[in-house]
Each structure stands twice: as C-alpha cells, then as structure tokens.
Amino acid sequence: MPIVRPRLTDYHGILLAQSEADFAIPFLDEDIPLYLDPFLLWRSPSQQDNALHTALVNSFNHLGHLEKQGKHSEATEILTALSECDEVGFGHSHTREGRRIGSATASKIVELFRIVPEYERRGFVHFEEIQFFVDHISRDRISDIACNLLKSFLIDYTIQQCRLSGIPTNEVATSVYSYKENKIVTERGLGLPCDPESNKPLVLVPKRWLRFRPWLDFNEYLAEYFPKENKVTSINPSRVDVLTFNRQHYGAVREYIAIKERSAGDCKNDPLFSQIPIASAKESLKAIKAIPTGLKDENDVKYERELSRLLASTFYPQLDFAKAQSRTESGVLIRDLVFYNNRSHPFLAELYEKYDSRQIVMEMKNVKELQRDHLNQLNRYLTEQFGRFGIILTRRAPATKIFRNTIDLWAGQRRCILILDDYDIEQIVTLYESKQRDPIDVLKKKYVEFARACPS
C-alpha cells in the first residue's frame, strides 16, 4: 500500500513519532530540510561531540597536510569524494541524489591551506570557514562534507538506533572515511537500513546536530559583519569580490568567527517541526472564519493554506504532518492534508486497528453546504491508500441527511468519515490555547459522537 511522503519508519510499520526519536526520521523520496552544522558539535557540552568535532577537523586539515606535501591531486580527489553524502539526505532535493563539487572548486578549497597564512600554520578550527573564501560552497555542502567525515560514527549510531526502534537492516557496503588511514575505504557487511526502492543504504543523524542555517553563515557575515567601508571593494560588492577580499584580509573573517564563538551559548539546534504560536493560531482562526465559502477570489486556496498551517501545529506531537496535497477528480480540484498515524494516542491506535489507518487524510471543502458527492469523493479515495478512516473539513455543520450518509457508510462498508466544521476548528484552537486538553481530543469527541450514532 503506497503512502504519502513515506518515511523510513512508516514504510516498515514502526510506531515512532518524530518528537520521540533521537534522530531525524528520513523521508524515502526527498530530503530533510535541515543540515548538519559542525558548530553544534563544537559547542556541545558532550565530550563525545567535541571529540568528534576534533576528529572531523583533523581529517579535514589532513587535506592541507597533503597539499603541503605536494599531493594536490590526492587531496582534491578525497575532497571531491567527500562533497556529497546521499546516505543522509539533507537539503531540498526531491530526488535524494546530489552532485559532487567539481575539481576546480576542490582545488580552490585545498589551495586555502597555502594562500591563507593562518590556515597554512595551524589549519582550520571550523572547517565551515571555507564558505568565506570559495564560491559554490553552501550549507548543504558543509553538511555533506561533515557527514562524510563522521560517517563511521554515524553508521554505528544508525545501527544502534535501528536496534532500539526495530528498523530492519540489510548487509550493505558503503564508502567510509577512515580516520586512521586518512583515506576513503569501502566497508562491507554493515547492517544499515536501506531505501526500499533503490536499495541504497541510509544513515541516521542525531536531531541535536541539525540546523536550518549554519551558525557560521556567509549571508549573515556579508549582511552584518563584512567591513563595507574598505578601500578594496565597492559599496555593494559581488559575492566573488567578498570572497577575494576575505582571502586577502583574513582578519575580517577571524573577527566574525571570534564573535560567533563568544555567542556560542545561543547556538541551538533547530526543531524538525515548530508549532505556530498561540497568537498566530488565533489569527489563523480569525482569518479562516472571515473567508467566504466558494471558489471565488481563490477563497478555497486561502482556506486550505490557513487550515493546513493551523492543524499541522495543533495536532503536533500526536500526529506528524506529512503533506498538503492536491488531486483532481472529475474536474474538481480537491485538497487534502495528510498526517502520519504513529499510534501515539489510544484513539489513534484504535483508528489503526479498526480502520487500517496508516495515514490520516483530511479533505478540505470550502463550500456552503456539504453534498453527498463530497462524501463519495473521499470515500472512493479511502479505498486506495488510506485505510477506511477519513475526515472532511468544511465550513458549516452538515445537514442531517449528510450525517446519516456517513452512518450508512459505516453500516454498509465499515468506513468512518468524520465531518469537522468551523465550530470544531474553533474548539481545537481553544484547546491549543488553554492547554487543558489535547486538541486531538476534539477528533476523539467527534469520533465518539459518530460511534454513538452508529447502529449497534
């Protein structure tokens, strides 16, 4: 049974909410929109993380050692191989396959060990500084190089986490940077989880190392710390001008790094999902209530946008939001919200057992009155991939005959379709705000009302 935006755990039917996992649960067909920031390892209170950062930087500085020994091509070769790490899948690519850097870029990075006297003498302390000197180095590249240099540890971590969560593994071979030999070697017989389609191995990364923007960030440096009143570059220098300036004026970069190191206490990992604040939830509700029904002026799109944002937050952490998706059926555009059912709540476990609900689909209908056709559309959809449970979100309470229809569907086919209107959304926001009960209790309440109306 195909599922929407599959995650590794859902594919194997493992009950694990992202909020409870220590690692970022990988998506199978796209990347996690966060990056490994080496600075988080450096500032971590954990000795293990600090030691890993030292190993990481030592490995990177070994490239400088090679360069100084005249083994330039060996160094660029290693760096090119390190520049992409498909196993972890971070970034915004939808294919999970990235491209390596070219030999010219690799050459420029390795040359830093000769051009910048500081690096020539003592090497890097934060290797992500390369982004201040070389073009085409962005956060995903830094993250990939770091992942590759730490891969040996990450593999052990993955094996351990898979054992804890019961994620199935296969014996695979993958390339690993050897800290002892300072080169990339192929390791065989590793028990790693694999992408079920491509059979490529996957490596898990602790959540605590992930950030959306690296702590040392070129854009931030350029906007706030780059000395604009210098005599070398113009007032609005191009990226290349800045990179060239930095190469010749290492002091500017050093100062930025020193400031960022001093404020390291503020450097925190970014959550994989952050809820909207209560004030925004109330604003969202107000906006939803003000939207007129119908398709005019793209009101349906506005309704969908506000509602997805609101519900993704209010149902967290019991339901992890998967995706807002669109489909067309007989010329009508239908918008859905899809949530992963982690069975993290007794009510959700019941939905899974009774209705095979692996993902919960919510269909949004910005209509004045819900029609039988709308029920049928969702009902047809339920057979395909979502089990036999679905929710329709609409503006007004349905007519009695429509509610009777949902009961008949249960009586005839044991399917459950709940209908939530603006009043229920309001109650969800009230619960989100008051924190006296979980907003998901509103779903349960609707379900209990539905179950009471069903013939026994």
Q: Are 428 and 436 in contact (CB under 8 A)?
A: no
Q: Is 354 a binder of other proteins (CB under 8 A)? A: no
- Cα gap 300→294, rounded to integer Å: 6
| Eight-class DSSP state of 378 | H
CB of 454 to other proteins, least distance (A): 15
Nearest-CA neighbor of 136 among 118, 109, 113, 112?
109
**Position 288 contacts other proteins (CB under 8 A):** no
Of 331, 436, 455, 456, which one interacts with other proteins (CB under 8 A)? 436
Return all residues near 328 (Cβ < 8 A) that are at least 6 apart.
334
**65 vs 446, beta carbon nearer other proteins:** 446
Note whether 310 and 427 are within 8 A (CB): no
Query: Measured from the CB atom, is 173 or 448 closer to other proteins?
Result: 448
Q: SS3 helix, strand, coil % of the chain, rounded to 5? A: 50, 15, 35
456 binds other proteins (CB under 8 A): no
Least distance in Å: CB of 311 to other proteins?
A: 17
CA separation for the pair 321, 341 (Å, rounded): 9
User: Quick check: 430 binds other proteins (CB under 8 A)?
Assistant: yes
453 near other proteins, rule: CB under 8 A: no
Angle between helices 422-434 and 278-290 (to 10 degrees): 170
Neighbouring CB atoms inside 10 A of 292's CB total 12
**Near other proteins by CB under 8 A, which window of 34-42, 254-262, 329-337, 430-438?**
430-438
Give the range of 20-28, 173-181, 311-319, 442-450 binding other proteins by CB under 8 A.
442-450
Residue 448 in the binding site for other proteins (CB under 8 A): yes
- Give just the sign of the alpha carbon dihedral 378, 380, 384, 386: positive
Q: Which residues on adjacent β-strands are paired with residue 27?
A: 7
**Range 408-427, binding other proteins (CB under 8 A):** 427
Residue 128: DSSP 8-state: G
Q: Rule CB under 8 A: say whether 437 interacts with other proteins.
A: yes
Residues binding other proteins: number (CB under 8 A): 11
**Would you call 217 helix, strand, or coil by DSSP?**
coil
> If binding is defined by CB under 8 A, does position 431 make contact with other proteins?
yes
The answer to whether residue 397 forms part of the interface with other proteins (CB under 8 A) is no
Q: Assign 242 to helix, strand or coil.
A: helix
CB of 300 to other proteins, least distance (A): 29
Interaction of residue 5 with other proteins, rule CB under 8 A: no
Q: Which amino acid is at 376?
A: N
* Segment interacting with other proteins, rule: CB under 8 A, options 155-163, 221-229, 390-398, 432-440: 432-440
Is 29 or 441 the residue whose CB approaches other proteins more closely?
441
Residue 225 tokens read as 């710390």
**Residue of 100, 422, 445, 450 interacting with other proteins (CB under 8 A):** 445
Determine, following the binding rule CB under 8 A, whether residue 174 of this chain makes contact with other proteins.
Answer: no
User: Which residues here bind other proteins, judged by CB under 8 A?
Assistant: 427, 430-431, 434, 436-437, 441-442, 444-445, 448
